[in-house]
Structure 1
């Protein structure tokens, strides 16, 4: 590799961009991992390879993969209406226009399908304009947005609340962010008869050896868990959640959109399974190769990509993550799949080259545009791997 990853990270810690970070660049058996800085602003202990982070929206690809295991088994079908398992969504209403009041609704033209949820085109979620009337209840009543595990109600209550909120767009019409992954989490639990944490552990985490991934951090491991910060406008960081805070116990609502914690090596194991076409390192098949291809293929129309308002660097959307469709930046390799998390995380893989890149920090993103550290890391990874 052309440069040293630790040498890349150290200047960002030194100038206060983040208190610390763990970064990983891997291709095949060749893995470079670096830990810099500290998990906390006090610098009490050094950051380590096995430090546990809130991975936020890097949860989404994992929940998409879990959904695909049920499809592979024939227990779900992409085109099937979700009302079979989620009767709360059997007859949804849609606001007449995106800027209509929440009580100005019309019936949905067709049912919401599993495929709609996987592609984020079910009609629920965040558009580029957060001020639309039908978006407000997602924050106020469902606690969508910045992950707060203890703020959301248990799944059945959450679904009843969701059923009273109209869709922003007709099913299949537009890409809208986030909410569909939380709905998928409830769908997985109802179809499987297992809670989402149990199902993910049995079907993905245990066979992949993802021993530090889950919806809460055991008391014995809290010493490896970072606090969570927000950058202060005048410099430094404000504490959002301490290590022994919201992730120290299992939440009532395990969020399929952003509730997981994990480590660099755990997420690498997940990425390698996808790169191997659904097969674990010890030869166990978790997903069919077809399911992996569907996850990592862009399913949006050009008009839907353009209207999303969130993609500025040639990205479309697969299942649970973005897919690069244009080469606008050094890191834009066609087919690159992955996503970023609002807690300061980013994980991607490139099926055509076998590349995995992962950056884990503990500082909240300031908006949909990736911070400079993240963008520079992607550039570093593109150069380091040729």
Structure 2
């Protein structure tokens, strides 16, 4: 069984909805008389450039599906552009109920779960992690992030919940660590989202830690890449928050998400483990090699049909476009969805805002010149993040607009789909604005 931590390493500040600017600019349409009337369930005619982009990828055989979802305000479901099928060898059409590996789009969900723990009074943004998990007291920091694990200095400040939510804790990741620290992450089974049962050339299999508690305990034995609060380093900190939630709430991480977010939001198609009864909705995932898609996780025999040893709060969920849109609607409603208060308004407001510590230096990071909230990028009043297999989503609170792109291929940089999607999206929005 091969595990490889893939993530949105190549997700530049330009590639997440142009750092939110694209959707912020597009929001003007929500205030136009034509804005909502343009949107039917399938809105390809209203978004011709987006539809053309999706069709070009489908017709060329680069991907099996491209599904874009768009929703204004509290419309009860998102509208769609694009389509395709579950896989190249599966003719079942994709729709809003098809299941996608959302990978790091799990992070904003874990972020909001953490904000719920704050509203429950379990801790605050600036509570030291060691007060909840004493094994993280007296952490050490590598003098050289690529150097020997015993060449360290003491931390100058304690890791806090804020640091974990914003990737400023100094903790590493399989996809950002290097040298001995990277080897230690692999040896200790500190993996995140799962990829395949198949061996992946160039990446030796890693056996995950036997559970989230042990995963966290092993992480506590390794040095940090940087001083807490000093640098933005994409990290395993959101995965660690899954264990923080368990310790603070007294519930398993999976139970907390199910009872506090999935059930109240009506997210009946969001899973760490896809039930066998739902396998007929699960997309195939592909690795792109030499420009050709190769199946690495067929839906019919997906690794996501097995229960994970470690439920990854940073990249472990499978969900449908309909389900994730309901999560986005809940955020747009500042915690309320269809009359149900899922979260407190202030919890959402703070969670989607820029909560980066004042001490952090963003120079050279993926979020330079921007903000970061509870597990997602925060720019102005736009909040969102993307996943390793091509998914991406964002919510614009000023304009009450939610949008997402779903497909299934790895690595994301194999195709310029995201940048082409953004360009097409902007062209369509500009055309709508001119037509008004």
Mapped partners of 1:344, 1:114: distance in 2 = 28
Mapped partners of 1:382, 1:302: distance in 2 = 35
Is the aligned partner of 1:166 residue 2:220?
no
Q: 2:284 aligns with which of 220, 227, 231?
A: 227
Aligned CA distance change for structure 1 residues 48 and 157 (closer, same or farther; 3 Å): same
Counterpart of 2:109?
Answer: 62
Counterpart of 2:171?
Answer: 124
Aligned CA distance change for structure 1 residues 14 and 148 (closer, same or farther; 3 Å): closer
Mapped partners of 2:176, 2:307: distance in 1 = 32
Counterparts of 1:220-259 in structure 2 under 5 Å? Answer: 220-233=277-290, 235-243=291-299, 244-259=301-316
Mapped partners of 2:313, 2:78: distance in 1 = 28
290-299 vs 219-228, greater mean Cα deviation:
290-299
143-152 vs 282-291, greater mean Cα deviation:
143-152
Counterpart of 1:3?
Answer: 47
Mapped partners of 2:305, 2:374: distance in 1 = 29
More helix by share: 2
| Preserved CA contact (<8 Å) 1:357 1:381 | no
Number of aligned residue pairs: 371
Mapped partners of 2:298, 2:175: distance in 1 = 31
Mapped partners of 2:192, 2:184: distance in 1 = 11
Counterpart of 1:352?
Answer: 398
| Preserved CA contact (<8 Å) 2:265 2:342 | no
Counterpart of 1:176?
Answer: 233
Is the aligned partner of 1:13 residue 2:58?
yes
Q: 2:272 aligns with which of 215, 220, 226?
A: 215
171-180 vs 148-157, greater mean Cα deviation:
148-157
Aligned CA distance change for structure 1 residues 123 and 73 (closer, same or farther; 3 Å): same
Mapped partners of 2:130, 2:196: distance in 1 = 26
Please tell me the root mean square deviation across aligned C-alpha atoms, in Å: 2.5
Greater RCO structure (CA 8 Å; 6+ sep): 2
1:349 is paired with a residue whose SS is: strand
Is the aligned partner of 1:193 residue 2:250?
yes
1:202 is paired with a residue whose SS is: helix
Question: C-alpha displacement at 1:237, in angstroms?
Answer: 1.2
2:294 is paired with a residue whose SS is: strand
1:358 is paired with a residue whose SS is: strand
User: TM-score scaled to structure 1, two decimals?
Assistant: 0.88
Q: 1:284 aligns with which of 313, 329, 340?
A: 340
Counterpart of 2:354?
Answer: 298
Question: C-alpha displacement at 1:109, in angstroms?
Answer: 1.7
Counterparts of 1:44-59 in structure 2 under 5 Å? Answer: 44-59=91-106
Question: C-alpha displacement at 1:290, in angstroms?
Answer: 2.2
Mapped partners of 1:178, 1:303: distance in 2 = 15
Mapped partners of 2:64, 2:127: distance in 1 = 46
User: Residue by residue, what CA displacement relative to the aligned partner does 1:203-255 show, whole Å, maximum 9, x if unpaired?
Assistant: 0000000000010110010010012111121x321222222221102212100
Aligned CA distance change for structure 1 residues 94 and 60 (closer, same or farther; 3 Å): same
Question: C-alpha displacement at 1:196, in angstroms?
Answer: 1.1
